[in-house]
Amino acid sequence: MKLIARKPALIVFAALASGLLLAGTVLVGSAWAQTKYKESPALAEEVKAGKLPAVDARLPEQPLVVPVVERAGQYGGVWRRAFLGPADANNYVRVVYDSLFRFSPDGAKIEPKLAAGAQPSADYKQWTITLRKGSRWSDGAPFTADDIVFWYKDIALNRDLMPAPPPWIRNADGSPALVEKTDTYTVRFTYKEPATLFLTALANADGADRGYAMFQPAHYLKRFHPSYTPKEEVDKLVQAAGFKTWGELFATRSQPPENPDRPSMAAWVSESRISDPVFTLRRNPYYIGVDPEGNQLPYLDSVRFTYFADTQALNLAAIAGDFDMQERHIVMTNYPVFKDQERTGKYRVITWPTFGGADAVLMFNQTYTADPEMGKLMATKEFRVAMSYAINRDQIKESAFLGLGEARQGIPAPWHPYFPGDEWAKKYTEFKPDEANKLLDQIGLTKRDAAGIRLLPNGKPATIEISVVPAFGAWPDVAQLIARDWEKVGIKSVVQIRERALHFTMRDANELMTEIWNEDTSAFPFTGNAKMDVRNAVILTLGPLYTKWLATKGKEGVEPPPPVKRLLELVDLARTVGPDEQVKAAQELFRVWVDNLYEVGIIGLTPMVQGVVVANAKMRNIPTTLGNDWPLRSPGNARTEQFFLAR
Amino acid sequence: MIAYILQRLLLLPVLLFFFSIMVFAIVQAPPGDFLTSYVATLAASGSSMSAEHIDALRHQYGLDQPLIIQYLKWVQNLLTGNLGLSLEYQRPNADLIGEQLFLTIALALFSFVLTWVIAIPAGIYSATHQRSIVDYVLAVFNYVGVATPNFMLALILMWLAFAYFDIGITGLFSSEFAGAPWSGAKVVDLLKHIWLPALVLAIAGTARLTRVMRANLLDELNKPYVMTARAKGLNEWRVVLRYPVRLAFNPLVSTIGWYLPALFSGSLIVATVMNLPNIGPLLLRALVNQDMYLAGAILLIYCFLTIIGTLLSDILLVWLDPRIRLGG
């Protein structure tokens, strides 16, 4: 494999040779094989010029057949898009959704993508993944079980690269699961416990978060890895690139958006870097997918991300019709302007409401200590219920959400199997200021000052600070409206709009009283970093001291109360039981979540989070409804490779 | 003169040393570090990172070391001409800054020339035709130009261009040229886009410069030597252009020094709003994301330019006006 290293002529030769070999072995004797699949005219030219093997030889024996949304498309064209710089790498991740398995467009199923299939053992402790025979990396090298084993052995278990293996390949005791190659195209994962969420994990093991996808081009990356290349040679490369450690070098070399040389399996591969002002992807001639008529995908020649320093400038460019399809960073508050300008015919507007949860929820810190009296109050359920009843959600919906969505708690959408029922979706969301006042009186906040603000037992006015990050459109407005409602029942409310990093630092330090965020991952309570699991430190104001207590095994922090512990039990349970039991566990989890109201849901099921789609009128095969959520990598689950520009 | 310049140059490293401390302190001032803001960005786009991974990265980037150590390492790198590695871009800062430098300078010079070409004649005309209709009209324009924030002007012009001429004006290039290598077509594309941002950047400067020029010239026009020249029967234009205008330049030249760093920093908000690929937005981003070595490198370059610029304007002044003496 070292031959493919540096010389372009050799790459072509190797690709050609292996292509011919494949054509010779697999398709031998089938005269019609030459015309079995069709390809882009641009690639056909290259084949004619002898730069590429024929399309049939480039595709695996059984390609992925991708259903089309409207009709089989036409080849060619550039998908113009915008991004906000290197930190916006998820923009790329969502477009390519490069993984072995992926979510279906509605988000309800998990389907094979690069892999041909996966088979669990009867007890779900063992999973066997089958790859597609004859599939190839974008440089023509075969894609095999070795590429997964390389990831497992040399990345996931390498402490220089990963401080700990990804949670989904760990057993309950923290040890890594066993990953073995059984033959060229099959890999077996063995866990100590049943791993019923295995496929969900695979659907997210796609190299997001600047992490590592669970399959890596071993033939290319070995040259940057000291296990395969002498340390001195790697060190030379490290120094030449200006890095300090080989881990830093390896990270940038292995991540497609940062390195156009790295072979990829995605429909489009990087042509420039994400740190460039324009980040371009071009068609992968070896992409494993075809449409039902046998046309190799993708239809579009390239994807071009243009850098924007400012979201509003990006939105203005979208209104000017500069993008062919963009949902990321399109701000919902601009929705009326988009609709108004839709008449010019340059684009159409599609909305994809969130798939689960609420688009603004207010969470109370259960372990707030800076003001013990307020901390105690926030840890009192009656208080939280009163605060929920005091909010006029209809008004918030009209003024901050343009009348879209509905008042609801942060639980999955009604069409999702984890939905526990309307009773919980709507619980405590009515506007009942009288009830709120009654509850507040009951818990002893009866004295008020001259301005009508209730007094705490220590004589100070009851004051809540709402910390809000202007990350998604309307949150600061939501906060202001809540504050006004709360003042009416005698709770003084201060809105603090904070810069993200400051907000996060304060959250870690247990300095936030409340915060507004969304509940966009609520359809996935058992994977990723769901908020209901206080062991996840990242997206949480619920109880930083609970998190600490659990992390230090009770030495520091505060012991979580029984309902919070029950949430953890349910998460652990769901990770080891079959699908039906998972649904039951999820429903109970959401009932506990809503009954205790650690978090007050405001408005949900709006297209606020990347749900307003601006698409060129000519850009076709974009679904009009789509499960829209981060774990689904939307628009990735819309199967972007079948998007096309009609002529 | 040479001794004076040498003396000033010798002072440069000392000043830079103090500036480096200040820059580092400023960049470090916000709470949290690059990883806090990185995790915040991730969370806002839906994904997250395990606490172990964050800690490991913090260690890898050396963010867990005491500030003094971080500072010393940074300075040590700087002394060897290494501006360090951007945490966000994972690329050498020198490359990142270098890439944007050309366009930054091109845009700045364009607007600089535009400013002077408009402002000097306007200033001269206003001064020589004091209290005429044109003078008043120019005055109104100038006040509006000074009073309107640049970015506001940019937004208004962008909207007007879009609403009435149906052209989207963000960036300096059409998207097909932005990443392309330089070519004739790319230059034409640049010229198509550069005029509006340059105009926006030039307007406030023009307004200010016109007023300064007018005031300076009015001072000079009443001086006896002008009257003498007139009395000797010199043509009015020659009288004005020969001496008073030249002297009126003095205060303008003395501000050229400030112009040098402003070339780079002045356009920060406008560049962000108009999506111009120059150093301003790069700095803003670096500060927001706490990409401290990148922000530090850019700030230090600003400091350096300020020092050099001041020196330049001192030298220019001496050259322009022999009445100004060095020292005592």
The mean pLDDT of B236-246, rounded to a whole number, is 84
Contact A503 B40 (CB under 8 A): yes
CB A432 within 8 A of CB A389: yes
CA nearest A83 in B: which residue?
B275
Res A19: pLDDT: 44
Residue A595 predicted with pLDDT over 90: yes
Give the pLDDT band of residue A15 (cuts 50, 70, 90): very low
pLDDT of residue A539: 58
Cα–Cα distance, B278 to B247 (Å, whole number):
35
Give pLDDT, residue A291. Answer: 96
pLDDT digits (tens, 9 = 90+) for B295-304: 999 999 888 8
Over residues A541-556, the pLDDT tens digits come to 789 999 889 989 999 9
Share of chain B above pLDDT 70, in %: 94
Amino acid (one-letter) located at B189: D
Q: Which residue has the higher pLDDT, A557 or B257?
A: A557
pLDDT tens digits for B304-319? 888 888 888 888 777 7
User: Which among A316, A501, A521 is the nearest to B37, CB-wise?
Assistant: A501
Taking only the tens place, the pLDDT of each residue in A78-115 is 999 999 888 888 899 999 999 999 999 988 889 999 99
**Pairwise CA distance, residues B61 & B70, whole Å:** 10
Largest CA distance in chain B: 86
SS3 string of B30-76? CCCCHHHHHHHHHHHCCCCCCHHHHHHHHHHCCCCCCHHHHHHHHHH
| Residues in contact with B219: Cβ distance below 8 Å, sequence separation at least 6, in sequence order | B248
pLDDT score of A26 more than 50: no
Residues in chain A: 647
pLDDT tens digit sequence for A299-334:
999 999 998 888 888 998 899 888 999 999 999 989
- CA A395, A400, A403, A405 dihedral sign is negative
Give the model confidence (pLDDT) of A615-645 as tens digits. Answer: 999 999 999 999 898 889 999 999 999 999 9
- Per-residue pLDDT of A501-523, as tens digits, reads 788 888 888 999 999 988 877 88
The HSE-up count of residue A411 (CA atoms within 13 Å, CB side) is: 29
Task: Tell me the sheet residues that pair with A514.
Answer: A364, A466
- pLDDT value of residue A591: 96
What average pLDDT does the segment B90-97 reach?
Answer: 88
Nearest to A317 among B166, B170, B179 (CB): B170
Tell me the average pLDDT across A454-478: 91
> B127 vs chain A: nearest CA distance in angstroms?
40
Q: What's chain B's length in residues?
A: 328
Cβ contacts from A onto B, under 8 A: 161
Handedness of CA A571, A577, A579, A582 (dihedral sign): negative
Instruction: Please report, as a single letter, which amino acid is at residue B94.
Output: A
Encoded tokens for B120: 């000097």
pTM (predicted TM-score) = 0.86
d(CA A144, CA A132): 8
DSSP β-ladder status, A347-351 and A619-620: unpaired
Angstrom distance (rounded) from CA A335 to CA A405: 14
Residue B112 in this model has a pLDDT that exceeds 70: yes
Q: Which two tokens stand for residue A405?
A: 């969505």
Contact residues on chain B for A631, CB-CB shorter than 8 A: 46
Structure tokens that stand for A271 in this block: 């042509």
- Give residue B46's pLDDT: 66
Give me the pLDDT at residue A12, please: 42
CB contact under 8 A, B51 and A538: yes
Q: Are strands A599-604 and A406-407 parallel, antiparallel or unpaired?
A: antiparallel
Quote the pLDDT of residue B266.
Answer: 64
A159-167 mean pLDDT: 86
Determine if residue A35 is left, alpha or beta; phi over 0 gives left, psi from -120 to 50 gives alpha, anything else beta. Answer: alpha
pLDDT band (50, 70, 90) for residue B107: confident
- Chain B residues within an 8 Å CB radius of A312: 273
Chain A, residues 491-510, CB within 8 A of chain B, namely 499-506, 508
From chain A, pick out residues whose CB is under 8 angstroms from the CB of B42. Answer: 90, 209
Compute the average pLDDT of residues B224-245. Answer: 85
Q: Which of A474, A475, A470, A448 is nearest to A459 (CA)?
A: A448
More confident residue, A71 or B311: A71
Q: What is the pLDDT of residues B244-253, one digit of tens each?
A: 888 888 777 7
pLDDT of residue A32: 43
A interface test, pick of B159, B165, B170 with most A CB neighbours within 10 Å: B170
Backbone torsions φ then ψ of B280, nearest 5 degrees: -55, -60
DSSP state of B139: H
B281-311: burial string, b at 16+ Cβ within 10 Å, e else:
bbbbbbbbbbbbbbbbbbbbbbbbbbbbbbb
Q: Tokens 């601006």 sit at which residue?
A: A614
Q: Which tokens go with B112?
A: 């600089």
Q: What are the tens digits of pLDDT across the range A388-434?
A: 999 999 999 999 999 999 999 999 988 888 999 999 999 999 999 99
> Given a cut of 60, is residue A24 above it in pLDDT?
no
- The answer to whether the beta carbons of residues A78 and A302 sit under 8 Å apart is yes
CB A476 within 8 A of CB A505: no
% of residues, chain A, pLDDT over 70: 94
